[in-house]
Structure 1
């Protein structure tokens, strides 16, 4: 098990945001964290990344709770936030170099792989990131999260605001990279989630209320309506 969380608790100020989150992520799979707005999905990602204090989080057999974010990143975890976190005044190439932890030579193998997965970024290599399309910016953000050959990449609502054709391309990319890095993503778009997810976990009021294989959730229309507000009409 790459990531194992049991009964995760977290406070932000005086507010008890997470009150019992269970989550498993194995190597080579895509796990989708689902739930209505305010259910604790983004906070869960931030806890894993060390940005919000929390109870125990087991990653690769060790408890990473309490570690600063840079140490968690050094262990092979990356987070692509909803705002993407790219530098708009830098070129695509410069954004990638900033994200590298090692030397350019050490990162060349990763760069070669990334260019094969993201051909549009190769074409825009020397362009300012601020001038990219919404889809290209999202791909750049994901590419930055992959440059150090991380074992787990976490994405916060990666399909939000993207055109359907770009969402399809995003799905292709995630399916391609999951053999190299496990993927944990927060999503509101269930139509997208059910196409790419291997497993799912649903949060409600800061607690895990349901988890399992995505194929089972696709057939469970009552749970879709109850926890996700998905219309069955």
Structure 2
């Protein structure tokens, strides 16, 4: 019965999030879903996330020190593919992981957390960028929003697990391992997030879905050069 109510509640929240994306991000919704480059990039990042999380689950399986190394890849999906593809990628990542581990019936709560990893940091950074942005604040926002998302999921997971499996142990048994590994998870994935984001934007020149002052400056510079060339002609 608990699984039924948990799936129902999680499913309604997932549906609500999807409707919010359609309403609040309607300008980019259709274009994101039709962008082949973004779709391919999202698929690659999902594969990376699932592969890294699988490796850590198999070789570093521990209640205390199991760190999901692929979370940073899920976070990057929203930044480079948009909220709509991030939503779908979160679902795909969860079901792909379920197929690999064959862990039984689908629990939509874990699908919900996978979706949150893909879209919550992206929309939070978009919001923060409207308040203040510069060349370097984006990197700070990346780590800050990752820390918030990790804290949110870390706080909710034990509550759900306790009632889902009818655990009689004290809350500290569920929270202590997560508190211990929180700073390690934040350090590893936060560093990977900044490094890979910087490689994507600077070396590969991928465009993000958030405002970037340096990109705007480069665009204005190119436009000025083109105008001067037309005047010389």
- What TM-score, normalized to structure 1? 0.31
Higher relative contact order (CA 8 A, sep 6+): 1
* Structure that is richer in strand per residue: 1
- What TM-score, normalized to structure 2? 0.31
